[in-house]
Structure 1
Amino acid sequence: MLINQLAHRSGVSTRALRHYDQLGLLSSRRLDNGYRDFADCAVEEVRRIRLLLDIGLGLQAVAQVLPCFTPDGELTACPTARERLRRQISELDGSIAELQRTRGLLAGALDNLIDS
Protein backbone atom coordinates (compact mmCIF):
# COMPACT_ATOMS: atom_id res chain seq x y z
CA MET A 1 0.00 0.00 0.00
CA LEU A 2 1.15 3.54 -0.63
CA ILE A 3 2.04 5.88 2.21
CA ASN A 4 -1.17 7.91 1.91
CA GLN A 5 -3.19 4.70 2.21
CA LEU A 6 -1.22 3.69 5.28
CA ALA A 7 -1.74 7.15 6.76
CA HIS A 8 -5.48 6.87 6.21
CA ARG A 9 -5.72 3.35 7.64
CA SER A 10 -3.48 4.05 10.64
CA GLY A 11 -4.51 7.62 11.44
CA VAL A 12 -0.86 8.73 11.43
CA SER A 13 0.47 11.51 9.21
CA THR A 14 2.55 10.71 6.15
CA ARG A 15 5.32 12.84 7.64
CA ALA A 16 5.46 10.65 10.75
CA LEU A 17 5.35 7.49 8.63
CA ARG A 18 8.28 8.70 6.54
CA HIS A 19 10.18 9.42 9.75
CA TYR A 20 9.45 5.95 11.16
CA ASP A 21 10.54 4.44 7.85
CA GLN A 22 13.80 6.42 7.83
CA LEU A 23 14.53 5.29 11.39
CA GLY A 24 13.94 1.65 10.44
CA LEU A 25 10.86 1.29 12.65
CA LEU A 26 8.75 0.49 9.58
CA SER A 27 9.80 -1.44 6.53
CA SER A 28 8.90 -0.50 3.01
CA ARG A 29 10.18 -1.14 -0.44
CA ARG A 30 10.56 1.39 -3.20
CA LEU A 31 8.48 1.07 -6.33
CA ASP A 32 9.96 1.89 -9.74
CA ASN A 33 8.52 5.40 -9.46
CA GLY A 34 10.29 5.92 -6.09
CA TYR A 35 7.14 5.68 -3.98
CA ARG A 36 7.23 3.76 -0.73
CA ASP A 37 5.21 0.55 -0.74
CA PHE A 38 4.16 -0.85 2.63
CA ALA A 39 2.87 -4.35 3.38
CA ASP A 40 -0.60 -4.71 4.88
CA CYS A 41 0.99 -5.60 8.22
CA ALA A 42 2.38 -2.05 8.40
CA VAL A 43 -0.92 -0.89 9.92
CA GLU A 44 -0.28 -3.16 12.89
CA GLU A 45 3.36 -2.07 13.03
CA VAL A 46 2.27 1.58 13.22
CA ARG A 47 -0.20 0.68 15.99
CA ARG A 48 2.65 -0.84 17.99
CA ILE A 49 4.87 2.19 17.45
CA ARG A 50 2.07 4.56 18.51
CA LEU A 51 1.33 2.44 21.60
CA LEU A 52 4.95 2.68 22.73
CA LEU A 53 5.09 6.41 21.98
CA ASP A 54 1.83 6.94 23.86
CA ILE A 55 3.29 5.38 27.02
CA GLY A 56 6.10 7.89 26.81
CA LEU A 57 8.94 6.00 25.17
CA GLY A 58 11.20 7.89 22.79
CA LEU A 59 11.86 6.64 19.29
CA GLN A 60 15.18 5.06 20.27
CA ALA A 61 13.46 3.08 23.05
CA VAL A 62 10.64 2.17 20.64
CA ALA A 63 13.23 0.66 18.30
CA GLN A 64 14.59 -1.44 21.18
CA VAL A 65 11.18 -2.68 22.35
CA LEU A 66 9.51 -3.36 18.98
CA PRO A 67 11.24 -6.75 18.55
CA CYS A 68 9.56 -7.86 21.80
CA PHE A 69 6.12 -8.01 20.13
CA THR A 70 4.72 -11.33 19.00
CA PRO A 71 3.50 -11.66 15.40
CA ASP A 72 -0.09 -11.25 16.65
CA GLY A 73 0.76 -7.91 18.30
CA GLU A 74 1.20 -8.82 21.97
CA LEU A 75 4.11 -7.45 23.94
CA THR A 76 6.17 -10.28 25.43
CA ALA A 77 8.10 -10.30 28.68
CA CYS A 78 11.48 -10.09 26.94
CA PRO A 79 14.27 -8.59 29.07
CA THR A 80 14.48 -5.45 26.94
CA ALA A 81 10.78 -4.67 27.32
CA ARG A 82 10.82 -5.41 31.06
CA GLU A 83 13.83 -3.20 31.71
CA ARG A 84 12.65 -0.32 29.52
CA LEU A 85 9.11 -0.31 30.94
CA ARG A 86 10.46 -0.43 34.50
CA ARG A 87 12.71 2.53 33.68
CA GLN A 88 9.72 4.39 32.23
CA ILE A 89 7.73 3.80 35.43
CA SER A 90 10.68 5.05 37.49
CA GLU A 91 10.89 8.21 35.36
CA LEU A 92 7.15 8.76 35.77
CA ASP A 93 7.44 8.32 39.53
CA GLY A 94 10.15 10.98 39.56
CA SER A 95 7.98 13.34 37.52
CA ILE A 96 5.02 12.74 39.82
CA ALA A 97 7.15 13.49 42.89
CA GLU A 98 8.42 16.70 41.31
CA LEU A 99 4.89 17.76 40.36
CA GLN A 100 3.67 17.06 43.91
CA ARG A 101 6.52 19.16 45.30
CA THR A 102 5.68 22.00 42.91
CA ARG A 103 1.99 21.74 43.81
CA GLY A 104 2.86 22.01 47.49
CA LEU A 105 4.90 25.15 46.82
CA LEU A 106 2.05 26.66 44.82
CA ALA A 107 -0.52 25.81 47.48
CA GLY A 108 1.72 27.35 50.13
CA ALA A 109 2.17 30.49 48.07
CA LEU A 110 -1.58 30.72 47.55
CA ASP A 111 -2.24 30.32 51.27
CA ASN A 112 0.24 33.12 51.99
CA LEU A 113 -1.28 35.64 49.58
CA ILE A 114 -2.30 38.88 51.24
CA ASP A 115 -5.71 40.24 50.27
CA SER A 116 -5.47 43.82 49.12
Structure 2
Amino acid sequence: MLINQLAHRSGVSTRALRHYDRLGLLSSRRLGNGYRDFADCAVEEVRRIRLLLDIGLSLQAAAEVLPCFTPDGELTSCPTARERLRGQIVQVDSSIAQLQHLRKQLAGTLDNLVDD
Protein backbone atom coordinates (compact mmCIF):
# COMPACT_ATOMS: atom_id res chain seq x y z
CA MET A 1 0.00 0.00 0.00
CA LEU A 2 1.15 3.54 -0.63
CA ILE A 3 2.03 5.89 2.18
CA ASN A 4 -1.20 7.88 1.84
CA GLN A 5 -3.20 4.69 2.24
CA LEU A 6 -1.17 3.69 5.29
CA ALA A 7 -1.67 7.16 6.78
CA HIS A 8 -5.42 6.89 6.27
CA ARG A 9 -5.65 3.36 7.69
CA SER A 10 -3.37 4.04 10.66
CA GLY A 11 -4.39 7.60 11.49
CA VAL A 12 -0.73 8.71 11.45
CA SER A 13 0.59 11.49 9.23
CA THR A 14 2.65 10.71 6.15
CA ARG A 15 5.44 12.81 7.64
CA ALA A 16 5.58 10.59 10.74
CA LEU A 17 5.44 7.45 8.60
CA ARG A 18 8.37 8.65 6.51
CA HIS A 19 10.29 9.37 9.70
CA TYR A 20 9.55 5.88 11.10
CA ASP A 21 10.65 4.38 7.77
CA ARG A 22 13.92 6.38 7.77
CA LEU A 23 14.66 5.19 11.31
CA GLY A 24 13.99 1.58 10.37
CA LEU A 25 10.90 1.22 12.55
CA LEU A 26 8.81 0.42 9.47
CA SER A 27 9.87 -1.44 6.41
CA SER A 28 8.93 -0.51 2.89
CA ARG A 29 10.16 -1.19 -0.55
CA ARG A 30 10.49 1.31 -3.35
CA LEU A 31 8.35 1.00 -6.44
CA GLY A 32 9.71 1.79 -9.89
CA ASN A 33 8.41 5.35 -9.55
CA GLY A 34 10.23 5.82 -6.23
CA TYR A 35 7.10 5.62 -4.07
CA ARG A 36 7.23 3.70 -0.82
CA ASP A 37 5.20 0.50 -0.81
CA PHE A 38 4.17 -0.88 2.59
CA ALA A 39 2.87 -4.36 3.33
CA ASP A 40 -0.60 -4.71 4.86
CA CYS A 41 1.02 -5.62 8.19
CA ALA A 42 2.42 -2.06 8.38
CA VAL A 43 -0.87 -0.89 9.91
CA GLU A 44 -0.22 -3.19 12.88
CA GLU A 45 3.42 -2.11 13.01
CA VAL A 46 2.34 1.54 13.22
CA ARG A 47 -0.14 0.64 15.98
CA ARG A 48 2.71 -0.91 17.97
CA ILE A 49 4.96 2.11 17.44
CA ARG A 50 2.18 4.49 18.52
CA LEU A 51 1.45 2.37 21.60
CA LEU A 52 5.08 2.63 22.69
CA LEU A 53 5.23 6.35 21.97
CA ASP A 54 1.95 6.91 23.82
CA ILE A 55 3.43 5.41 26.99
CA GLY A 56 6.31 7.86 26.72
CA LEU A 57 9.08 5.83 25.11
CA SER A 58 11.40 7.60 22.71
CA LEU A 59 11.65 6.42 19.12
CA GLN A 60 15.03 4.87 19.94
CA ALA A 61 13.55 2.96 22.89
CA ALA A 62 10.55 1.95 20.78
CA ALA A 63 12.91 0.53 18.16
CA GLU A 64 14.52 -1.61 20.86
CA VAL A 65 11.18 -2.85 22.21
CA LEU A 66 9.43 -3.57 18.89
CA PRO A 67 11.09 -7.00 18.51
CA CYS A 68 9.47 -7.98 21.82
CA PHE A 69 6.01 -8.10 20.23
CA THR A 70 4.55 -11.46 19.25
CA PRO A 71 3.26 -11.91 15.71
CA ASP A 72 -0.30 -11.38 17.00
CA GLY A 73 0.62 -8.00 18.48
CA GLU A 74 1.11 -8.77 22.16
CA LEU A 75 4.08 -7.35 24.04
CA THR A 76 6.09 -10.14 25.65
CA SER A 77 8.07 -9.91 28.86
CA CYS A 78 11.43 -9.91 27.10
CA PRO A 79 14.31 -8.36 29.07
CA THR A 80 14.50 -5.32 26.80
CA ALA A 81 10.82 -4.50 27.26
CA ARG A 82 11.02 -4.92 31.02
CA GLU A 83 14.15 -2.74 31.25
CA ARG A 84 12.71 0.04 29.07
CA LEU A 85 9.35 0.06 30.85
CA ARG A 86 11.00 0.14 34.27
CA GLY A 87 13.15 3.04 33.09
CA GLN A 88 10.05 4.86 31.87
CA ILE A 89 8.40 4.40 35.28
CA VAL A 90 11.48 5.98 36.93
CA GLN A 91 11.20 8.95 34.55
CA VAL A 92 7.47 9.34 35.25
CA ASP A 93 8.08 9.18 39.01
CA SER A 94 10.75 11.88 38.67
CA SER A 95 8.39 14.08 36.65
CA ILE A 96 5.66 13.65 39.25
CA ALA A 97 8.06 14.66 42.04
CA GLN A 98 9.15 17.74 40.09
CA LEU A 99 5.54 18.73 39.42
CA GLN A 100 4.59 18.26 43.07
CA HIS A 101 7.47 20.52 44.07
CA LEU A 102 6.43 23.11 41.50
CA ARG A 103 2.83 22.96 42.76
CA LYS A 104 3.98 23.64 46.32
CA GLN A 105 5.99 26.62 45.11
CA LEU A 106 3.00 27.97 43.16
CA ALA A 107 0.65 27.51 46.09
CA GLY A 108 3.12 29.26 48.40
CA THR A 109 3.50 32.15 45.97
CA LEU A 110 -0.27 32.43 45.63
CA ASP A 111 -0.70 32.44 49.41
CA ASN A 112 1.84 35.27 49.70
CA LEU A 113 0.18 37.53 47.13
CA VAL A 114 -0.80 40.93 48.48
CA ASP A 115 -4.17 42.26 47.40
CA ASP A 116 -3.98 45.71 45.79
Counterpart position of 1:98: 98
Between the aligned partners of 2:62 and 2:18, the Cα distance in structure 1 is 16
Tell me the residue number matched to 2:76. Answer: 76
Render the CA deviation track for 1:33-77: whole Å, top value 9, x for unaligned: 111110000000000000101111111001000000000000000
**Percent identity of the aligned residues?**
84
Q: Helix, strand or coil: the match of 1:27?
A: coil
| Superposition RMSD in Å | 0.5
Corresponding position of 2:2: 2
Runs of 4+ in 1 over 6 A off after TM superposition: none
Q: TM-score, normalised by structure 1?
A: 0.98
Task: Tell me which residue corresponds to 1:40.
Answer: 40
Alpha-carbon distance between aligned partners in 1 of 2:95 and 2:114, rounded to the nearest angstrom = 31
Match for residue 16 of structure 1?
Answer: 16
TM-score, with normalisation over the residues of structure 2? 0.98
Structure 1 residue 88: deviation in Å? 0.2
Unaligned runs of 5+ in 1: none
Which amino acid in structure 1 is aligned with residue 42 of structure 2? A
